[in-house]
Structure 1
Amino acid sequence: MKTFVMLHGINHNMFGKRDPAQYGTVTLAEIDSKLQALGRELGVQVESFQTNSEADMCERIHQAFTDNVDGVLINAGAWTHYSYGIRDALAILTVPVVEIHMSNIHAREAFRHQSVFAEIVKGQICGFGVDSYLLGLRAAVSAAG
């Protein structure tokens, strides 16, 4: 069975509590549950990981490489806009990587318009709330063949 890793970044453990105007009231557990359900429907396994530590995120990306996963989805939160360490870790991967954001980062503050991951990911999906994750999983599964 193909395996995909969903990487949740900084502050995502606070989904459902922080800034409901941007992120709604859905919790991280609910997002992961929806991804698990879609994974079953698509016949793939989805492993989710969340951290507020940039080092731990890089270590989990390295583990995805070692484990030969079939694809990676990442919503790195604010790290998207400045973490060259996470970018370099993602660049090690040889599988499709899909960048995901619940909000439309291009319609928000100017600093959010730039993604340091954009040049190395297969694609970006943003602005569709929880559906961004589901669309991202579908895209990653399709890209992985």
Structure 2
Amino acid sequence: MKNKFKIMIINGPNLNLLGTRETKIYGKKTLSDIINKTKKIANKLNVKLYNFQSNAEHKIVEKIHECKSIKIKFILINPGAFAHTSISIRDALLAIQIPFFEIHISNIFSRENFRSHSWISDISNGIISGFGSDGYIWALHTAVNILLEKKNTTY
């Protein structure tokens, strides 16, 4: 059976350290744990799920660009600290015009002041912040619902 939609998960800097990095804030699940659980759910939803993680801003920008050519229908991005610093990631997301959700494991609005501003929040289709690794699952389900609604809507 052909997959209905292609969805990309992009994770930014230091998320490769999940499970060992500040576990009181980020929990004990590794990025592999999160991706594997999300892939299992994606398979049940008949979604082809791609994932990418990098600590390098330019590699994330290049992966965002690639999403257009491989016909990704929705992006789930946890930009990590790049949310607060990267105009180039913002510009890349604007350039490709693919809907996306911004995900943060911790509640960025209850932490240091500098974390409460994101350069991509205002252009995102939604923000999930502070729900731990479950945010990825919620984002996936919601993205699929949006894509199904769009597919079934005729104008």
Does residue 109 of the first structure (1) align with residue 107 of the second (2)? no
Does residue 23 of the first structure (1) align with residue 26 of the second (2)? yes
Superposition pairs of residues 1-145 of structure 1, within 5 angstroms: 1=3, 2-145=5-148
Normalised TM-score (structure 2)? 0.91
Distance 1:42 1:102 in 2: 23
1:94 Cα deviation after fit:
2.4
Aligned residues: 145
Distance 2:146 2:61 in 1: 23
Secondary structure at the counterpart of residue 119 of structure 1: helix
> Quick one: which amino acid aligns to residue 80 of structure 2?
G
Larger Rg: 2
Distance 2:66 2:127 in 1: 22
Q: What does the per-residue CA deviation read over 1:82-101, in whole Å, with 9 as the maximum and x for residues that have no partner?
A: 10000100112322200001
Runs of 4+ in 1 over 2 A off after TM superposition: none
Q: Would the aligned equivalents of 1:4 and 1:69 in 2 still touch at CA under 8 Å?
A: yes
Normalised TM-score (structure 1)? 0.97
